[in-house]
Amino acid sequence: MDKLTVIANRFALEGKVSEIKPLGKGLINDTFLVITDGPHKYVLQRINNAIFRDVELLQHNIECATRHIRKKLEAAGEDDIDRKVLTFVPCTATGKTFWTDGAEYWRVSVFIPDSFTHEAVDPEHSYYAGKAFGNFEAMLADIPDTLGETIPDFHNMELRARQLKEAIKADAAGRVNAPDVQALLKVLLPYEEEMCKAERLYREGKLPKRICHCDTKVNNMLFDADGNVLCVIDLDTVMPSFVFSDFGDFLRTAANTVAEDSPETHKVDFRMDIFEAFAKGYLESAGSFLTPVEKENLPYAACLFPYMQAVRFLTDYINGDTYYKIQYPLHNLVRTKNQAALFEAARQKVPQMRSFILR
């Protein structure tokens, strides 16, 4: 039996494993589809515990969040609940929703059949995505459990800016003086203070933290064959954060005219049709609990996330590509250029975004 099958068999699966193959495009964990002769297929994931250092906490958050969402769906009388929230399978020996040999950490969830992820969406689907993410936050707003930060200060822009400066100082891979890197630093550094606005508002007591998804890339959403949103996946970063996280990160991936790693940076633009559709859906489902400060800063969130992602990709490039999976040596540099271009495009459109939100 190969290694993956041995690991899958440590979980309480129904049926016998017949095949295991790679799944998805995540940059952090390794994900596989497990095919069995039983009623379900499963998703097997090796959790990147260099990044998620506290796997107990990680799975605690995920179990609490999925349990709470399931309850809400039941209370609302929804049908097909197993397709609208993820189900994690316990390890047979420990009863926990992960298995570890002390070095590697693995988990299994039930694969939702006839579901699809998309790398791009049209305005109609953005509207549904907005509703879904707003609804996700609304459902978790009264969760009784305490969730921890699975990556402390994950979307803290002050921390991300500091990490970039530390990377520059250490210059571990000898890349800081490359002309491309210098050019990007010239574009990014002047906006640091402006982009750290959320942390200032938080310190002043004007901005709350709520339970957010914190990785609302387009491809972290499951759609059915008719294009309806089934549920939100990739729950590793469900934790207390600013709502800007969910609003901004979706648009970062969905409103970009090209993929986040496309080298055709001249084609990067921020799509207002996607923004408007997503904002409409989001405000419809999250509008009831958002404060005026949160609402008025949604255009800032749309700029913050390309900016933060550019800073994170560049930091990783300078560090010698230790965080994100790369497919070729300049991948993180290309990603940075792309996100910096998206940041500039979004900034141009802030006045339009503001007037749309006001309407």
- Chain contacts with Mg ion (rule: CB under 5 A): 26, 220, 234
Kindly state the greatest CA–CA separation across the chain.
Answer: 60
| Site for ligand GN1 contains 306 (CB under 6 A) | no
| Site for ligand GN1 contains 234 (CB under 6 A) | yes
| Site for ligand GN1 contains 215 (CB under 6 A) | yes
Of 66 and 256, which has the nearer Cβ to ligand GN1?
256
32: tokens are 């596989």
Residues 6+ apart with CB under 8 A from 129: 121, 218, 221, 229, 250, 254, 278, 281
d(CA 97, CA 179): 47
Q: How far is the CB of 63 from ligand GN1 (least distance, A)?
A: 18
Select the residue interacting with ligand GN1 from 27, 141, 170, 293 (CB under 6 A): 27
For the segment 239-298, give every residue that binds ligand GN1 (CB under 6 A): 260
Of 237 and 256, which has the nearer Cβ to ligand GN1?
237
# residues near ligand GN1 by CB under 6 A? 12
Of 26 and 134, which has the nearer Cβ to ligand GN1?
26
DSSP state of 31: E
What is the number of helices (H) and of strands (E) in the chain? Answer: 13, 9
Q: Are 357 and 299 in contact (CB under 8 A)?
A: yes
| Site for ligand GN1 contains 304 (CB under 6 A) | no
Determine the straight-line distance between the first and last CA of the chain, rounded to whole angstroms: 60
| Site for ligand GN1 contains 126 (CB under 6 A) | no
| Site for ligand GN1 contains 237 (CB under 6 A) | yes
d(CA 277, CA 180): 35
Select the residue interacting with ligand GN1 from 26, 134, 248, 299 (CB under 6 A): 26
Q: What DSSP element (H or E) covers 169?
A: helix 157-170
d(CA 48, CA 254): 25
The residues pairing with 100 across neighbouring beta strands, listed in sequence order, are: 105
Select the residue interacting with ligand GN1 from 45, 109, 309, 315 (CB under 6 A): 309
Q: Are 221 and 129 in contact (CB under 8 A)?
A: yes
293: tokens are 């400060």
* DSSP-based three-state secondary structure for 345: helix
| Binding map of ligand GN1 across residues 37-56, x = CB under 6 A, - = no contact | --------------x-----
d(CA 201, CA 208): 9
Select from 4-12, 72-80, 161-169, 234-242 the region that touches ligand GN1 (CB under 6 A): 234-242
Of 131 and 160, which has the nearer Cβ to ligand GN1?
160
User: CA dist 171 to 146, 165, 326, Å?
Assistant: 39, 10, 19
| Site for ligand GN1 contains 134 (CB under 6 A) | no
Of 234 and 276, which has the nearer Cβ to Mg ion?
234
Q: How far is the CB of 218 from Mg ion (least distance, A)?
A: 10
Q: How far is the CB of 15 from ligand GN1 (least distance, A)?
A: 28
Q: Radius of gyration of the chain from Cα atoms?
A: 20
Residues 6+ apart with CB under 8 A from 8: 17, 20, 34, 42, 44, 108
Of 43 and 255, which has the nearer Cβ to Mg ion?
43
Select the residue interacting with ligand GN1 from 36, 61, 126, 220 (CB under 6 A): 220
Of 30 and 122, which has the nearer Cβ to ligand GN1?
30
- Select the residue whose beta carbon is closest to ligand GN1 and give its number: 27
359: tokens are 């309407």
What is the binding site for ligand GN1 (CB under 6 A)? 26-28, 51, 215, 217, 220, 234, 236-237, 260, 309
